[in-house]
Amino acid sequence: MRTKALAASALVMLMSGVAFAAGETPVQAAPDHKYLWGFAMGLGLAFAAGMAAFSQSRAIAASVESVARQPEAGGRLQTMMLIGVVFIETLVIFTWVLFFLWGGQLLPAAAAH
């Protein structure tokens, strides 16, 4: 709990430094930030893959622990665990597909500049 609070406060401090460093600037036309979308999509894909790996490891650990407690239910537990892992991995594949679909729309616009 303490680690989460420390990480959250560090994130708030980092973001507030950026906000205070902005200062007064004259009003300009809105810049095109399509390159930030590419960065955000890459970060989102990495986050989705990391969380899927964490979820799969938890599911597999729970399944192995259950088989250790009740070996005769191993076949049923393995089937249910594999179905769950497939659903988790499907979410990552959907994120990957969206990454390429949206990336194809952003790259031609960035090349025009």
pTM: 0.57
How confident is the model over 15-71, as pLDDT tens digits?
A: 555 555 555 665 665 666 667 777 887 788 888 889 999 989 998 999 999 989 998
CA-CA-CA-CA torsion sign (23, 26, 30, 34): negative
Total domain count, the chain: 1
Residue 26 domain-assigned (yes or no): no
98 pLDDT above the threshold of 70: yes
The length of the chain is: 113
Burial 68-77 (b: 16+ CB within 10 A, else e): eeeeeeeeeb
Closest CA to 95 of 54, 34, 42, 32: 42
Residue 49 domain-assigned (yes or no): yes
Selected residue with higher pLDDT from 109 and 25: 25
Domain encompassing residue 95: 33-111
Residue 19 domain-assigned (yes or no): no
Residue 21 domain-assigned (yes or no): no
Residue 68: CA count within 13 A, CB half-sphere: 6
Residue 76 domain-assigned (yes or no): yes
What pLDDT, on the 0 to 100 scale, is given for residue 58?
92
Residue 12 domain-assigned (yes or no): no
Selected residue with higher pLDDT from 73 and 5: 73
Which CATH number do you get for residue 77? 1.20.20.10
Tokens of 49: 């893959």
Residue 10 domain-assigned (yes or no): no
- Which alpha helices (DSSP H) does 1-113 contain, by range? 2-21, 34-69, 74-111
